Amino acid sequence: MDIRRREFMRLAGGAGACALAGPALAQAYPLKPIRLVLGFAPGTPPDIVARLVASSLSERIGQQVFVDNRSGAGANVATSQFKRAEPDGYSIMLVVATTTINQTLYPNLDFHIARDFQPVTSLLRVANVLVVNPGVPVKSVPEFLAYAKTNPGKLNMASGGNGSSPHISGEMFKSMTGIDMVHVPYSGNYFPDLLSGQVHVVFSAIPGAIGFLKQNQLRALAVTTEKRWESLPELPPLHEFVPGYESSGWYGIVAPKGAPRPIVEWLHKELNAAVADPKVVARLPDLGMSPFKSTPEEFGKFIGDEVDKYAKIIKAANIRVD
């Protein structure tokens, strides 16, 4: 029995696992491949993260962890199906900030992300960056705010669609500063129109924008996190100019509700170690990401807080899906 399985057995004994789940937890875990459910298509940023984590975790535990892509309705289809998965530790799900946005954006969901799942751990954060076309005559957030206030309704704000992370980040910024920008939702790539000046501003995820920024084709003003970001350390956080503003993306893992506590603790430990692997850490700057650690309880509270935060923005801006 290897050291990780001995650790699991220790946790199982300490938590009274036999009383919780009978003989099943007396066996070493995992005894078969683990399914990592993902509500997004192959090749998307969440898929890249899922495969990076699955590969690292597989190496650590000596058991295959495979990604099960089930895209549709902004991950709602996969999340609804996952709610009914067996809580045996062999099915886990990668959840993202979009999941907490969707809780309010789609009023008839048959699940609640903060109540119907067992939080395991947060994994990674990803910042958005406030980017403008160089034709906008501003070079700082204070200049941008002054320009927007003296030109209400003249700035077009692109996003990846109603309710997308760039849209919500922008609406939060508008709400907290009182500026008026026109939202222009895109079903595809908005960067050609941003480069040409047909739209003027976007709250883009760093990986999508960083190439244009390095080539000075677009101008970045700030990141959407509370602190400076490793990938773009020269940029200030919007929090410095708009106290309380924070709208970053994130990735984490949940299990079906009712998953045994020893398995949750074991997965928490191994997943965090997988993300801390030097091979994974080396990839994070290029992905615009940084580690995001929490206990299962802290992650559960964080999910609930995110739902509440975005619900206020969605309701105030009357955001609806297309």
List pLDDT tens digits, range 160-185: 888 888 999 999 999 999 999 999 99
Which residue, of 222, 240, 258, is where some domain finishes?
A: 240
Q: Do 107 and 25 share a structural domain?
A: yes
Buried b (16+ CB within 10 A) or exposed e, 295-317: ebeebbebbbebbebbeebbeeb
Together in a domain, 152 and 181: yes
**Other CB atoms within 10 Å distance of the CB of residue 86:** 10
Among the three residues 206, 240, 274, which one is the final residue of a domain in this structure? 240
Would you say residue 322 lies in a domain?
A: no
Query: Quick one: tokens of 315?
Result: 């309701």
Q: Is the pLDDT of residue 113 over 70?
A: yes
Does residue 226 sit within a domain? Answer: yes
Instruction: Give pTM, 2 decimals.
Output: 0.84
**Looking at the predicted structure, is the pLDDT value of residue 132 above 90?**
yes
Identify whether the C-beta of residue 29 lies closer than 8 Å to the C-beta of residue 89: yes
Residues 228 and 256 in one domain: no
Same domain, 48 and 160: no
Q: Helix (H, G, I), strand (E, B), or coil: what is residue 175? A: helix
| Together in a domain, 227 and 256 | no
* 221 in any annotated domain: yes
Supply 196's token pair.
Answer: 């040409």
Residue 321: which of 111, 175, 109 has the closest Cα? Answer: 109
Say whether pLDDT at 11 is over 60. Answer: no
With a cut of 90, say whether residue 141 has pLDDT above it: yes
Same domain, 137 and 81: no
Q: What token pair was written down for 16?
A: 């009274």
More confident residue, 181 or 23: 181
Q: How many domains does the chain have?
A: 2
Question: Which residue, chain included where needed, has tokens 């898929």?
Answer: 47
Last-in-domain residue among 207, 240, 273: 240
Kindly report the average pLDDT of the chain as a whole number.
Answer: 90
Q: Are residues 289 and 311 in the same domain?
A: yes
Indicate whether 321 belongs to any domain.
no
Verify that 107 and 254 share a domain, yes or no: yes
Residues whose CB is less than 8 angstroms from the CB of residue 35 and which lie 6 or more positions away in sequence, other chains included:
65, 66, 68, 90, 91, 92
Q: Both 154 and 8 in a single domain? A: no
pLDDT in tens, 247-294: 989 999 999 999 999 999 999 999 999 999 999 999 998 888 999 999
| CATH number (domain holding residue 121) | 3.40.190.150
Question: 120 with 257, same domain?
Answer: yes
Give the C-alpha separation, 186 to 116, whole Å: 32
Q: Same domain for 182 and 121?
A: no
Q: Do 111 and 257 share a domain, yes or no?
A: yes
Range of the domain at 270: 3-126+248-316
